[in-house]
Amino acid sequence: MDGQAVRRLFTQETTQPGGRARTGVLNLNHGGVSTPAFMPVGTNGAVKAISQAGVKNIGYNLILANTYHLYLRPGAALIQAAGGLHRFSGWDGNILTDSGGFQIFSLASLQKITDAGISFRSHIDGSKHALTPEKVIEIQEILGSDILMPLDVCTPPGLDRRQAQKALDITGLWLARSLEAHRAGASRGAPEAQGSLFGIIQGNFYPDLRRISAELTCQSAVEGLAIGGLSVGEPYPQFLDFLALTAERLDPERPRYLMGIGTPEYILDAVENGIDIFDCVLPTRIARNGAALTPEGILDLKKAPSAHNLEPLSQTCPCSACRTYSRAYIHHLFKAREILGPMLLTEHNLVFLYRLLEDVGQAIREHRFAGFKKDFLNRYRQGKTP
């Protein structure tokens, strides 16, 4: 630690004997979150194709929103005038805001990175912008985020070592400045309302850089530890290797967040490595494209086998789609391009993942996570995608 007291954000409950899978509670400003937990993604302050009440009714109390998108549109000033993102969007649960670094690298044009910050052009209208680590913290404080992420440099697989080292150096420099800005924010505002700043571990696909980044991040006074730069297109075995070698270096007192993963297979790998929270657009994105998560794998309801199937998607799922409608009706909605189709499958996929994580938590508490994972994946991978 660098001399600052670290608030106890995470209460650990159970650890799987002989492994790292664990359950706990995140103690956040807008209520507790049982972990392990999946966070639905609401990039623009809305989870696509479902209302805030719909997300809350499933049981979720932590969603992700994106600083880059909200900064560009509608802008921090309007959200500040509305009293923060919770009030502006009508979501009374917790919000984690991504720093926007990943979106600037993937969406914006003409990015230029210096030690000072990033300059870029908006993907919306081409306008010029410059963000610094301090500015990104300030925007997240205006939004009223419960968990803030620092600006970092995201790197693609296949980067040469010199560039990976440079990106890591800047990420480390920016983390120190983000912490300073966060402390300055704490002295300005009411401390009980301040969100928790996490640190992001990078290091590309160089084991020693990953280790250094994990150590430096753990030594800083951040309240949570995030793993960035994985599941960015690398082969699956490489993802697993780098997840394990990073996760095993994370101190157990703080919550651990694996950024950008959301398929059942990756979630179970993350949990096995002691990860507490994760997010991904995939479950809601595939829903809008007609695909449902099921215990037997991903089912594409647009395809022919569902066209005349009058059975529900699942006999046991409590979501609106499964309680009320047949597969044939949902197939019809997608063929007719009715908005209800994406809405029904979005709710279904979010219910599926919420219940999966409830089952995972129960398995860890009963010390049978390894068997649970094996049985789940055997069934999930046998499923045919028609």
CB of 139 to Zn ion, least distance (A): 36
**Amino acid occupying residue 97:** T
Question: How many residues interact with Zn ion (rule CB under 5 A)?
Answer: 5
Sign of CA dihedral 28, 32, 38, 40: negative
DSSP of 304-321 = GGGTT--S-S-SS--SHH
Sign of CA dihedral 78, 81, 84, 87: negative
By CB neighbour count within 10 A (0-12 exposed, 13-18 middle, 19+ buried), where does 308 fall? Answer: exposed
Q: Which of 50, 139, 291, 317 binds Zn ion (CB under 5 A)?
A: 317
Residue number, 241 or 338, with CB nearest to Zn ion: 338
Residue number, 224 or 283, with CB nearest to Zn ion: 283
Q: Which stretch binds Zn ion (CB under 5 A): 2-10, 90-98, 185-193, 319-327?
A: 319-327
CB of 350 to Zn ion, least distance (A): 9
Site for Zn ion in 207-266 (CB under 5 A): none
Does residue 360 touch Zn ion according to CB under 5 A?
A: no
Q: Which stretch binds Zn ion (CB under 5 A): 126-134, 203-211, 340-348, 367-375?
A: 340-348
**Looking up tokens 């951040």, which residue turns up?**
222
DSSP of 58-75 = HT--EEEEEHHHHHHTT-
Edge-to-edge strand order for the sheet containing 31-35? 10-15, 22-28, 31-35
Residue number, 119 or 320, with CB nearest to Zn ion: 320
Does residue 319 touch Zn ion according to CB under 5 A?
A: yes
Q: Which of 322, 333, 344, 364 binds Zn ion (CB under 5 A)?
A: 322
Q: Which stretch binds Zn ion (CB under 5 A): 222-230, 245-253, 273-281, 321-329?
A: 321-329
Q: Which of 170, 348, 350, 361 binds Zn ion (CB under 5 A)?
A: 348
Judge contact between 38 and 353, C-beta under 8 A.
yes
CB of 60 to Zn ion, least distance (A): 15
Report d(CA 291, CA 294) in Å as an integer: 10
Q: Which helix (H) or strand (E) holds 217?
A: helix 207-219
Cross-strand partners of 119: 112, 130
Q: Which stretch binds Zn ion (CB under 5 A): 13-21, 178-186, 276-284, 344-352?
A: 344-352
Residue number, 139 or 344, with CB nearest to Zn ion: 344
| Catalytic sites, residue numbers | 98, 279
CB of 323 to Zn ion, least distance (A): 8
Binding residues for Zn ion (CB under 5 A)? 317, 319, 321-322, 348
